[in-house]
């Protein structure tokens, strides 16, 4: 297998974009990533596009072909373009497919993109589409919602480990603070613990400010074999590990409701592949679709002992400048969570950090970063480790 | 959910019928075709559960799922049956009374209805034992 490098990245704006279409935002990100890489578009050998639910959000399937077409890569060039779906982990998984295509030697210059346009439907319809990432026949039918499933995780975490609503609120406060320094973020205003605790209850114990919002957005990266990456960029970022794991589709079938075993397995596989430990990681973008999810993620990946994720957050160890910087981009919470795009946006953030291009949210001297993207309530987890040094 | 998709599982939903793997002596509800532990070595048979169980974790849903608006706030929980399996169910009780470890028993209730077709779905919910 060949080493693989990232040579170009770009996010569209994230937010509620009433005036822009699905194809507008994905072309913005895709063209931006190609421009950033210095590759000419006709050199692309393939595209992998993460998208969870174009069918339900914009009544459009056949997303791979649509994006190749509107990126100007279909006529004459006929660049192959493949849609990848794993609920909210669709982006992370599209990136993994692209990495494997280059690593295998089958393709050289490859784009991985992710996109979701969620505000063209009502928030009720958007929630129903998202709920399809859980078990429709045995969870959805009982009135389960996504916040409801994570609320049951939160309730049990509080019961078993004494995690508090204040500690969960601290996740949101930190991520909004980081997001305030990210030009693409949906929310750029800092918030307080009190504003989280006083926001309306969605699914007890989760308030609306414990939840990531409904968002439009697209992200794209361009990959090349490490051997030729320097032909295009002075700052290639290398992929040290790619890992994926599955777990039960329904929350009720998990071994332990407070542990996402798919995250544990994917994290372990990634560390083994990179020959690294948590001590080597300067920053990590984790899947904070809800505040409790970030607490579980830092425990599942080994940054915090089981049950101590809330305490670690409260003590500031996951802030920029702390033991490990978690969600420097603002995470899903402040950037917004366009489900298919999130996993690629995480890769864009880590790349910008490792290049030293993260502005006011820069982690000093960042050498190694990690991404962690979860589908559903934990049925899929995708983890990557990226580094400045090959 | 489509009528056919619901009716296919009617016997399981109405009567708490799941499965039992004779190879590893593990019970499953919702039912499974393949034992997740023994995989193809598992020998699956039908099993009707006795009914009672306890709440493993729960939430009170204030922002309801589509079609459940008139029920909010409602208690959603993960119930562990005395034979072992866990599944998601609504707990019909005062939200303030719900707690982890609460003993519960099944009741036959309306779960919901299918939009404009008006087909009513029934199944099992739980109440304090
Ligand atoms: Zn078995």
CB burial readout B15-35, b (16+ within 10 A) else e: ebbbbbbeeeebbbbbbbeeb
B26: in domain: no
B76: in domain: yes
Nearest chain A CA: its distance from B59 CA (Å) = 5
B38: in domain: no
List residues of chain B with CB under 8 Å from any CB of chain A: 1, 5-6, 9, 30, 36, 56-68, 71, 74, 76-78, 86-90, 95, 100, 111-112, 121, 123
Tokens, residue A59: 């009544």
Please give the Cα distance from A152 to A160 (Å, whole number): 12
Degrees (nearest 5) of the Cα angle B109, A130, B77? 35
Residue B107: CATH number of its domain: 2.40.50
Taking Cα atoms as reference points, which of A369, A299, A371 lies closest to residue A332? A371
B10: in domain: no
Residue with tokens 């003993």: B103
pTM above 0.95, yes or no: yes
For residue A33, the surrounding DSSP H or E stretch is: helix A22-37
Task: State which residue of chain A sits closest to B110, comparing Cα positions.
Answer: A142
B3: in domain: no
B18: in domain: no
Tokens, residue A294: 């970030």
Instruction: Detail the DSSP E strand segments found in chain B.
Output: 17-21, 26-28, 44-48, 53-61, 74-81, 86-91, 103-114, 119-128
B110: in domain: yes
B37: in domain: no
User: What residues pair up with A373 in beta bridges, in sequence order?
Assistant: A382
Q: Which domain holds residue B91?
A: 51-128
Interface mutation vs chain B, best among A140, A141, A158, A199, most B CBs within 10 Å: A141
Residue with tokens 């005395």: B82
Please give the Cα distance from A340 to A375 (Å, whole number): 10
Q: What is the pLDDT along chain A (390 residues), one digit of tens a residue?
A: 999 999 999 999 999 999 999 999 999 999 999 999 999 988 999 999 999 999 999 999 999 999 999 998 999 999 999 999 999 999 999 999 999 999 999 999 999 999 999 999 999 999 999 999 999 999 999 999 999 999 999 999 999 999 999 999 999 999 999 999 999 999 999 999 999 999 999 999 999 999 999 999 999 999 999 999 999 999 999 999 999 999 999 999 999 999 999 999 999 999 999 999 999 999 999 999 999 999 999 999 999 999 999 999 999 999 999 999 999 999 999 999 999 999 999 999 999 999 999 999 999 999 999 999 999 999 999 999 999 999
Which DSSP letter does residue A259 get? Answer: -
Please give the Cα distance from A167 to A178 (Å, whole number): 17
Select from A124, A203, A252 the Cβ nearest to the Cβ of B66: A124
Number of domains, chain B: 1
The residues near A43 (Cβ < 8 Å, ≥ 6 apart) are A108, A109
**CB atoms B63 and A203 under 8 Å:** yes
CB burial readout A318-352, b (16+ within 10 A) else e: bbbeebbbbbbbbbbbbbbbbbbbbbbbbbbbbbb
Tokens, residue A237: 């970022």
């Amino acid at each position: 297998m060949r080493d693989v490098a990232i040579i170009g990245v770009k996010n569209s704006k994230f937010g509620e974009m009433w005036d822009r279409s699905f194809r507008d935002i994905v072309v913005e990100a895709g063209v931006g990533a190609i421009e950033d890489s210095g590759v000419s578009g006709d050199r692309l050998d393939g595209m992998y596009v993460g998208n969870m639910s174009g069918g339900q959000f914009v009544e459009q399937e056949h997303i791979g072909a649509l994006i190749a077409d509107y990126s100007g890569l279909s006529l004459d060039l006929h660049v192959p373009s493949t849609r990848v779906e794993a609920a909210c982990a669709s982006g992370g998984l599209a990136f993994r497919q692209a990495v494997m295509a280059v690593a295998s030697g089958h393709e050289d210059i490859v784009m991985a993109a992710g996109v979701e346009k969620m505000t063209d439907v009502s928030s009720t319809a958007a929630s129903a589409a998202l709920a399809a990432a859980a078990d429709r026949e045995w969870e959805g039918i009982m009135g389960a919602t996504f916040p409801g499933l994570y609320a049951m995780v939160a309730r049990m975490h509080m019961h078993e480990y004494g995690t508090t609503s204040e500690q969960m609120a601290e996740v949101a406060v930190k991520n909004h603070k980081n997001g305030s320094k990210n030009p693409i973020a949906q929310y750029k205003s800092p918030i307080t613990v009190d504003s989280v605790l006083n926001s309306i209850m969605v699914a007890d114990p989760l308030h609306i400010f414990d939840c990531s919002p409904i968002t439009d957005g697209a992200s794209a990266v361009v990959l090349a074999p490490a051997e030729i990456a320097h032909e295009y960029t002075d700052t290639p970022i290398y992929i040290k590990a790619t890992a994926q794991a599955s777990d039960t589709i329904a929350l009720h079938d998990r071994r332990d409701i407070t542990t996402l075993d798919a995250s544990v397995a994917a994290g372990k596989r990634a560390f083994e592949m990179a020959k690294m430990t948590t001590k080597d990681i300067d920053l990590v973008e984790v899947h904070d679709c809800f505040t409790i999810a970030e607490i579980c993620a830092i425990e599942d990946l080994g940054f915090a002992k089981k049950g101590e994720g809330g305490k670690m957050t409260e003590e500031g160890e996951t802030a920029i400048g702390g033991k490990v910087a978690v969600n420097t981009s603002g995470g899903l919470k402040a950037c917004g969570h366009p489900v298919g795009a999130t996993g690629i946006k995480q890769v864009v953030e880590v790349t910008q950090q490792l290049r030293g291009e993260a502005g006011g949210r820069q982690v000093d001297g960042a050498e190694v970063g990690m991404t962690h993207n979860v589908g559903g309530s934990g049925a899929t987890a995708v983890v990557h480790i990226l580094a400045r040094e090959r | 959910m489509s009528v056919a998709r619901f009716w296919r599982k009617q016997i399981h939903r109405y009567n708490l019928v799941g499965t039992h793997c004779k190879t590893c002596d593990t019970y499953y509800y919702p039912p499974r075709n393949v034992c997740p532990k023994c995989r193809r070595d598992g020998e699956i048979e039908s099993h009707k559960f006795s009914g009672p169980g306890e709440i493993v974790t729960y939430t009170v849903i204030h922002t309801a799922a589509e079609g459940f608006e008139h029920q909010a706030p409602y208690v959603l929980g993960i119930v562990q049956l005395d034979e072992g399996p866990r599944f998601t169910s609504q707990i019909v009780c005062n939200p303030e009374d719900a707690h982890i470890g609460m003993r519960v028993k099944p009741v036959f209730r309306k779960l919901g209805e299918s939009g404009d077709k008006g087909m009513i779905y029934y199944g099992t919910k739980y109440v304090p034992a």
